[in-house]
A and B are shown apart, each in its own frame.
Chain A
Amino acid sequence: MSKNVRYENVNKIFGLGTKNEVHALKDISFTINEGELFCLLGPSGCGKTTLLRNTAGLDTITSGKMYYGDVDISTIPPYKRNIGMVFQSYALYPHMSIFENVAYGLRVRKVPNDVVTRKVTEVMELVGLQEELKRNPSPTALSGGQQQRVAIARALVYDPDVLLLDEPLANLDAKLRRYMRAEIRRIQKATNITTIFVTHDQEEAMAVGDRLAVLRKGVVEQIGTSDELYNQPKNAFVANFIGKMNFFNSHVVSTNKEETVVEIDTAGIRVAIKAEKRHVEPNVGDEVLIGGRPEYLAVSAESSENSIPGQVKIIQHLGSFIRYEVEINKSISPVTLEIDMDSLQKDIHEGDMVNVTFDTSRVALFSPEGREL
């Protein structure tokens, strides 16, 4: 039976009391719902794998509580937690056939032979390996994608309360990765087991997860659906981690309940931003950032009112759109802007001077903190 997973003020400190103390998880508190496919997302070193290993019990948390349903599992050893886990390396046993690999958890539970055979057959059908099961080879004889399926089957076969996936797609090539992430979603929805999926790939997380948590330096920055995180990022870090966000250094000119007026540094352009697009409490004179997605910016050869001059560095054809990388005054944006246009601008070439404009109704206001990934 599936259960929800709840974290209450979870802290993990490696090397507690030594010089090399690392505070890997800081006061983590949130709940993963029953039957949910939940993604832990973040750059390397953000604590996502630490949180997963602690959820599994392979590490023990320094303080706080973790619950599966109503049961406090903070101090329960991993082999009593009834969880399934798929490792990045798959961790298939090379000395056992794929049948015995999948059956392992059932053998541990002393399940009778006929039930083992039935359950293994069922789960192998679910992951689409019924043909391979008939030949029953050693896992080393399988392709990467098939090994991945065996690893998932092995974790699912004993109906765990929670399924944990640690960067499960990292070892697959790009095409297979896209196919397998759809497969994982299909299998998860078929079994309805609460699942935690760890990845550093935001595209993967948005494609797979019902909800996502973005972690940074051991702190949960934001939790929400893919749509919420993309369209209403709470801060500059989330905005730039979930998709790309271009930032313009600005300062607050005036502010009231409905809107805030900011001026872009040096350019002298003033923009009014609606209250719901404010992700910072602005005071007059504050340093802030205006953030705009690549698709809300535009380049043009002609100058217009409220445009920022810049130089095209690189033009990339990316299929459905064209990406222009434009360098503007470094005091406005120290990094090059990424601007996506629906079609190729015939009069603009690499090296040309252009003018950048943006849709003022689609930009948002952020605190400068966390703009660097």
Chain B
Amino acid sequence: MSKYSMIENGAETNKIKKFFQKDFSQFIVFAIPMIFIGIFLLYPMAITLIRAFWAPAEYTFKFTGWSLEGFRTFFGTKLYLRALVNSIIVSLSVTILCILIGVPMGYCVARVKIPGKKLLVSLGILPIIMPSFVGAYTWVILLGNKGIVRTALNFILKPFGVTLPSIYGMFGMILCMTLTYYPFVFQMAYGAFSGANALLEESAMLMGAGKARIMRTITLPLIIPSLGAAALLVFVRAIGNFGIPAVIGGNNYVLPTLIKFAYGGAGDINLASSIAVINVIITGLVLYIQKYIVNRHEYETISASHTDIKQHESLGAKIFAIILCLIVLIFSLLPQLTIIVMSFFKRWTGLLPSDFTWTNYANIFKKSSHELFNSFFLSIVATIMCAIFGSILAYITERKRPKGSALLDLSIMAPFILPGTVVSIALLSAFGGNGLMKLTGTYLILIISYMIRRTPYVYRSVAANLTQLNPSLEEASTISGATWFYTFRRVSVPLILPSIISGSVMTLTTLLQELSTTILLYGPRTRTVPIQIFNAVNENDLGRASALSTVLLIVVFAIIYTMNSRKGTDLSSSMKM
């Protein structure tokens, strides 16, 4: 052992010398986002957890004494328990339905020889980039008591003795969320089915396996990991969705609307915190189950060469594929069409809209210019910050791999999985009252909440890019004599720029339509367009809501379209988890 201890002594003196010769630029760059995460993410989360065990509060943030009252109220009140059950039923149903729609559709587009595949894939991504609560109220128009789609469907279903349930309630929520979130599964399934190694299926065929057996034993098992990821994404989105239940939930509360009710209605931040904690536990549990299932099905790609996948060419398969895709696309894009039509009319109560008018648009400039400014200002500032922090954080976890980088990764990704209302409650708990600082009603708290929730887009997209980037590119720069910062600026950033851009586009487009976080944090000065749309819907001013929504749709679509026409940018990498 004497030889070893000598070596260690040598290492000691080396360390001291190394410390003084180190290039400190990277530590300064790394410290800022880490401090941000500490103050605005970890601290609020901790405070929320503590508040969950405080006695009920009435419009106060002060300490009210320790108590389990919040949880007792939750589990002792029918309304609250009902909301929990509703949340679970809705999220699970939506997840299962999304898989049932998304996987076959992904298979059809990937493996059946049909025209217009690229268009189908682009149309198939639209529902997630459009505000989901906007879609919800259009279903009220279409599937309401006298709605045109209800009338048509009831006519078709009449011979079977079936009538559609009311759009207000569980049926409506599940329908809207499924049509909004199936693209996650569809995009994933399309990617997995078209990217699969054809040789695996061909070798199974040569060994005598039939089509059904290949599907069951080779094709499907290989997509389980990505299917699991997509299913989780759908579940967390569904359980965290505020807009759809708020618009068409009727008397059926779910956890996000319940949190809003507890804080906004009863003014009890501590009760809201208790609900938030319960919500976090459920999401965590689902995440754990998903990881457990997926980990048992994680495979390394063994083959080196890839051949093109064979596609079904029979007429029957083509017709089936086209009909399936058309039905799904028409249903999921109907809301967007409805909004555009509605924005030119005063009302739409019967089968068709009535009273054509331009005033909806004229009113935007009169009544919404401040909200438009707010939306763009907040979204753009937050996106820029997300892009900077997200890429630095991805660089830290991917390249530097410090001790506890898994924990860092988890804390960055947590707000992505958690419902927006939970993040808002956490920020309110920490900065609502006379705590560290009072931020309620400011632009700052909205920007911070946006940053916390959306940094994962850039973070994930850049991290995925970095894993594919050979570290020797950066090493070559260091060898050439460049300091860390020079290398980061001239080599790393230009190479990860495409992923920064695609992550930022996702961030910007989703922030422009952000509702679930904003609804708890906005003040009179900081109202955004989605808030105004939400209020207009509640006041039944559908014309105004539609005109504003159409403006949002056009802006979001223009951003996505510009970005898709650029080469080398890929939206899907920022959606993965």
Contacts and interface: CB of A to CB of B under 8 A. Distances in A.
Interface in B470-484: 470, 472-473, 475-483
A151 B486 CA distance: 20
Most buried by B among A63, A84, A93: A63
Contacts of A84: 479-480
B481 A109 contact: yes
26 contacts: A13-B7, A62-B10, A62-B11, A63-B14, A75-B17, A75-B18, A78-B478, A78-B479, A79-B23, A79-B478, A79-B480, A84-B479, A84-B480, A89-B472, A91-B475, A91-B476, A93-B491, A94-B495, A95-B494, A95-B495, A104-B477, A104-B490, A105-B480, A109-B481, A154-B480, A164-B479
Interface in B445-485: 470, 472-473, 475-483
B403 interface: no
B6 interface: yes
A91 B11 contact: no
B296 interface: no
Contacts of B470: 89, 91
A60 B18 contact: yes
Contacts of A93: 473, 476, 491, 494-495
B132 to A, nearest CB: 38
Given A11-B7, A64-B10, A79-B482, 17 more contacts: A16-B8, A62-B10, A63-B7, A63-B11, A75-B17, A75-B18, A75-B21, A77-B23, A77-B478, A79-B479, A79-B480, A80-B481, A85-B475, A91-B475, A93-B495, A94-B495, A108-B480
Nearest to B482: A108
Interface in A1-53: 11, 13, 16-17
A259 to B, nearest CB: 39
B118 interface: no
A79 B472 contact: no
Please classify how large the interface on chain B is, using the bins under 10, 10 to 19, 20 to 34, 35 or more: 20 to 34
A87 interface: yes
A87 B491 contact: no
B22 interface: yes
A158 B10 CA distance: 33
Interface of B: 6-8, 10-11, 14, 17-18, 21-23, 470, 472-473, 475-483, 486, 490-491, 494-495
A118 to B, nearest CB: 18
Contacts of A299: none
Contacts of A75: 14, 17-18, 21
B27 to A, nearest CB: 14
Contacts of A158: 480-481
Given A75-B18, A77-B22, A91-B473, A62 B7 contact: yes
A294 B398 CA distance: 50
A207 interface: no
Contacts of B473: 91, 93
B402 to A, nearest CB: 16
A249 interface: no
A56 interface: yes
Contacts of A88: 472
A60 B18 CA distance: 10
A104 B475 contact: no
Nearest to B20: A75
Contacts of B472: 87-89, 91
A5 to B, nearest CB: 15
Interface string A59-100: 010111000000000111111101111011101011100000
Pairs A-B, 5 closest by C-beta atoms: A63-B10, A105-B480, A91-B472, A91-B476, A63-B7
A284 interface: no
Contacts of A82: 481
Contacts of B14: 60, 63, 74-75
A63 B490 CA distance: 33
A87 B18 contact: no
B18 A79 contact: no
A176 interface: no
Contacts of A154: 476, 480
Contacts of B23: 77, 79
A11 B8 CA distance: 11
Contacts of B486: 108
A77 B21 contact: yes
Q: Interface residues of B: mostly helix, strand, loop or mixed?
A: helix
A16 B482 CA distance: 29
Interface of A: 11, 13, 16-17, 56, 58, 60, 62-64, 74-80, 82-85, 87-89, 91, 93-95, 104-105, 108-109, 154-155, 158, 164
Nearest to B7: A63
Contacts of A17: 8
Contacts of A85: 475-476, 479
Contacts of B10: 62-64
A194 to B, nearest CB: 15
Contact of B479 (A83, A89, A94): A83
Contact of A108 (B475, B481, B494): B481
Given A82-B481, A93-B491, A104-B480, A76 B475 contact: no
Nearest to B491: A93
A86 to B, nearest CB: 9
A104 B6 CA distance: 41
Contacts of A74: 14
A79 B10 CA distance: 23
A105 B476 CA distance: 10
B11 A16 contact: yes
B11 A105 contact: no
A240 to B, nearest CB: 30
Most buried by A among B8, B18, B473: B473
B475 A105 contact: no
Nearest to B18: A75
B17 A79 contact: no
Nearest to A87: B472
A332 B475 CA distance: 50
B11 A87 contact: no
B476 A87 contact: yes
Given A11-B7, A63-B6, A58 B478 contact: yes
Contacts of B17: 75
B391 to A, nearest CB: 16
A32 B532 CA distance: 75
Most buried by A among B17, B476, B490: B476
Nearest to B480: A105
A87 B6 CA distance: 33
A84 B481 CA distance: 9
Contacts of B476: 85, 87, 91, 93, 154
B96 to A, nearest CB: 43
B182 to A, nearest CB: 36
Given A63-B6, A64-B10, A89-B472, A76 B21 contact: yes
A16 B7 CA distance: 10
B481 A105 contact: yes
Contacts of B495: 93-95
B180 to A, nearest CB: 37
A58 B474 CA distance: 11
Most buried by A among B18, B479, B495: B479
Contacts of A60: 14, 18
A154 B11 CA distance: 33
A95 B490 CA distance: 10
A84 B495 CA distance: 22
A279 to B, nearest CB: 27
A13 B6 CA distance: 13
B480 to A, nearest CB: 4
Contacts of B481: 79-80, 82, 105, 108-109, 158
A2 to B, nearest CB: 17
Contacts of A89: 470, 472
A87 B480 contact: no
Contacts of B491: 93
Nearest to A75: B17
A16 B14 CA distance: 14
Nearest to A157: B480
